[in-house]
Each structure stands twice: as C-alpha cells, then as structure tokens.
C-alpha cells in the first residue's frame, strides 16, 4: 500500500538505488562509507548519497548476515534494522573506522551496546516517533484478543457464519477491567492513556517505582510483578529486552494470571516463554493472548499458530506510513550527525 501510495515499484526502486550507488561510488570515494542494511521508509538514498558513500544498494529484504559481514570492512556507519545482529564480531569486521550504528527501531537489543560503548562507537535509535503507533497496536491487540476477533474472522471467512449466534465467540469485557502494564515507559504510558477511555484501573510494574506525581498523572498504581499478574484482567508487556526481562513471563508467572486474563506482548518475544504460553492457551488456563513479537522471529512457535485464542501479528507496532517515515528520517539524522562529529538527536550510549 505504501509503495502504491508512492507510485513506485520495487524493481524501479532497486534500479534507482543501484544508479545512485554506482554514481556515488565513483564520484565520492572520499565520503565516509555507510552500509544501509535495507531499503527503509523515510531514508532518502539520494539525500544520504550527498554526504556518504553507500557500500551497496539497500536490499528489499533482510540482508543476510554474511553479506553484511562482507560489506562492513572500512565502514564508518551502519544504518540497520532490528533484524540485523550488530555484535563484537561484526564490529571487528568493520574495524576501527566504525563510528556509528543507527538502528531503525527504538529497541536496541540487536546491538551489543556495551561492546560498542567500549569501542567508542555511538549507538542511536528512534524513540518517541513510534510511541503512539505502538500503543495503538497494543490496545488493538488487547481488544482483538479479548473479543476473539481473529478466531471469529477466520470462521466467517471459512463460510461458518450461519447467522447471529447467542453463544458464538463470547469474549471478556474490556471496559472497566484492570490493566497491568509491565514497563511503564513512554509506550507503556501511552497504553495507560488509552485505558482512560475504557475506564480501566491501571497497575504497573517497573524495575524502579516512578515518583508519586508521575504515578498520579498517569493514573497508575505500582505493584510487584507477581501481584500485578494476579490482579490484572489484561497484562500488556512494554519492557525493553534486557537480561532482567528475558524470560520474565515464564510458566510460574503465567500461573499467577487469572484464567480470564489476556496477555499482550508488544515488547520483544524473548520476554515470554512461548512454549509455556501456548500450553496455557491450549488448556484454557488464560483466556487469550495478543502477540506482535516472537522469540525467534520470523519463526512462530507451532503451538501458538495452533492456538485459536492467540491473535498473532507480524511485528507491526510502528507500522504506519507516517511513523515509519519519521523513523527513517530520524535514523538518517542520527547517522549523519555522528559522522559530522556532532551530537545525534537520539543517542543510546
């Protein structure tokens, strides 16, 4: 749709990118070398090419790790996505020329930030611009899972809608429920704001409790994680992936949730034990789940695919035209700022 809106075809885009690439390669050998790992909304290749030498035309699909490894030697910058692993071995391959890793995402769990910091490489991300879009999607998943949208639509498309059914696809009420937000940062706060319209009581859990005035303005009450899980009708995961959040929602934690509860994950798949979640859904030990992220993307646990009460989306949190364009502009600005020796708009380290 986005391509249609721009009236561009992938083939034409690749040709245009190749033209820019070959032209710049010849003319601007003195410019800093940059690897852009994928064609991205909002990242103007012609704009970038005035300031950097693109190592290769950014591909339409994820760049295979070995290709990235082959392109980075001598690069000063990498503009990458959450699908690219930027670790010590990639930094070794790039060598001492590498100054900046600009991630087209707010989460930077795909980048070894500690290692980059140790080497003096700046890491940047794209927060803020995606907060509202991601919160919209989290709330959409909450509603969809609570009211069985996916299961009911699948049945309708399969020709199984034979008339209004007083027993069909009965969900759980959202209005007036208790919402537990794990990770009340910017996105979590935006989810909390949406809950106001549904007259929900909002609980939250963070590593560090927020100051009372912030709790008050967000209308959120602090709980330990276990208490939040047992009190909430809806649990929305918004935590960044880090050592302390990896595997945070495992079997024992799922066991604390109400049988009527809905789990929504818009954070990272690795926060949840997917196998355990699939079992809980299959056994009706929680009501439903709405997931946008997965442990081993793009693979989905087969038992989740088989769970009718799971609403599954292909990592769409920030996927609106405006948001993705803003992310791209932001990612390019971060990259160019570091290469120009100035402070990037959004540094992580």
- Residues 132-150 as b or e (16 or more Cβ within 10 Å = b): bbbbbbbbbbbbbbbbbbb
Query: In angstroms, rounded to a whole number, what is the distance separating the alpha carbons of residues 131 and 136?
Result: 9
297 catalytic residue (yes or no)? yes
Please work out the total of residues on this chain that contact ligand GLV, with binding judged by CB under 6 A.
7
268 labelled catalytic: yes
Eight-class DSSP state of 263: E
Which residues have a Cβ under 8 Å from the Cβ of 279 and sit 6 or more positions away? Answer: 285, 303
Choice between 51 and 186, CB closer to ligand GLV: 186
| Interatomic CA distance for residues 68 and 84, integer angstroms | 9
For ligand GLV, the closer of residues 107 and 180 by Cβ is: 107
Q: Which residues have CB under 8 Å from 85's CB, separation 6+?
A: 65, 110
* Residue 237, beta-bridge partner list: 182, 265
Q: Which residues, numbered 238-277, are part of the site for ligand GLV (CB under 6 A)?
A: none
The smaller minimum CB distance to ligand GLV, of residues 177 and 328, is found at 328
Q: Cβ of residue 288: shortest distance to ligand GLV, in angstroms?
A: 22
Is residue 205 flagged as an active site residue?
no
CB of 36 to ligand GLV, least distance (A): 17
Shortest distance in whole angstroms from residue 102 CB to ligand GLV: 13
Phi, psi of 337, deg, nearest 5: -60, -45
Output the six-digit token pair for 201: 């009581």
The catalytically annotated residue of 205, 223, 253, 268 is 268
Which is closer to ligand GLV, CB of 241 or CB of 276? Answer: 241
Site for ligand GLV in 104-143 (CB under 6 A): 105-107, 130
Query: Looking up tokens 């495992």, which residue turns up?
Result: 250
Active-site entry in 147, 205, 253, 315: 315
| Min dist. Cβ of residue 309 to ligand GLV (A) | 24
Give the nearer residue to ligand GLV in terms of CB position, either 108 or 286: 108
What x/- string results for residues 282 through 321 when contact with ligand GLV is judged by CB under 6 A? -----------------------------------xx---
Residue with tokens 């009706």: 284
Q: What share of the chain is helix, strand, coil (3-state, %, to 5)?
A: 40, 15, 45
**Direct distance between the N- and C-terminal alpha carbons of the chain, in angstroms, rounded to an integer:** 36
Length of the chain, in residues: 349
Helical segments of 257-344, H only: 274-282, 302-305, 321-339
Site for ligand GLV in 88-107 (CB under 6 A): 105-107
Select from 34, 35, 78, 82 the one that contacts ligand GLV (CB under 6 A).
82
Q: Which is nearer to ligand GLV, 58 or 317 (CB)?
A: 317
Of 115, 215, 297, 325, the catalytic one is 297
Question: Which positions are catalytic?
Answer: 268, 297, 315
Contacts to ligand GLV by CB under 6 A: 82, 105-107, 130, 317-318
């Amino acid at each position: 749709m986005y391509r249609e809106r721009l009236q561009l075809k992938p083939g034409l885009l690749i040709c245009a990118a190749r033209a820019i690439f070959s032209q710049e390669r010849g003319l601007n050998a003195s410019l800093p070398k940059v690897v852009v790992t994928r064609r991205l909304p909002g990242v103007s290749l012609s704009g970038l090419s005035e300031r950097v030498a693109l190592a290769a035309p950014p591909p339409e699909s994820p760049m295979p790790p070995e290709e990235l490894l082959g392109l980075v030697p001598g690069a000063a910058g990498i503009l990458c996505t959450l699908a690219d692993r930027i670790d010590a071995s990639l930094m070794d391959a790039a060598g001492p020329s590498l100054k900046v890793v600009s991630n087209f995402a707010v989460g930077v769990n795909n980048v070894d930030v500690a290692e980059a910091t140790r080497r003096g490489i700046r890491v940047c991300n794209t927060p803020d611009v995606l907060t509202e879009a991601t919160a919209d999607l989290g709330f959409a998943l909450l509603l969809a899972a609570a009211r069985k949208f996916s299961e009911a639509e699948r049945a309708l498309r399969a020709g199984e809608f034979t008339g209004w059914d007083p027993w069909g696809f009965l969900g759980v009420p959202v209005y007036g429920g208790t919402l537990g937000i794990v990770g009340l940062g910017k996105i979590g706060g935006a989810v909390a704001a949406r809950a106001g319209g549904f007259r929900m009581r909002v609980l939250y859990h963070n590593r560090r409790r927020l100051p009372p005035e912030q709790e008050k303005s967000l209308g959120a009450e602090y709980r330990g994680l276990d208490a939040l899980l047992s009190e909430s009708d809806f649990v929305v995961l918004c935590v960044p992936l880090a050592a302390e959040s990896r595997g945070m929602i495992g079997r024992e934690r799922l066991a604390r949730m109400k049988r009527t509860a809905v789990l929504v994950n818009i954070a990272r798949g690795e926060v949840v034990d997917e196998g355990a979640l699939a079992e809980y859904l299959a056994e009706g030990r929680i009501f439903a789940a709405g997931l946008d992220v997965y442990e081993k993307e793009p693979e989905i646990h087969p038992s989740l695919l088989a769970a009718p009460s799971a609403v599954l989306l292909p990592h769409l949190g920030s996927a609106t035209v405006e948001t993705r364009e803003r992310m791209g502009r932001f990612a390019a600005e971060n990259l160019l700022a570091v290469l120009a020796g100035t402070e990037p708009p959004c540094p992580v380290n």
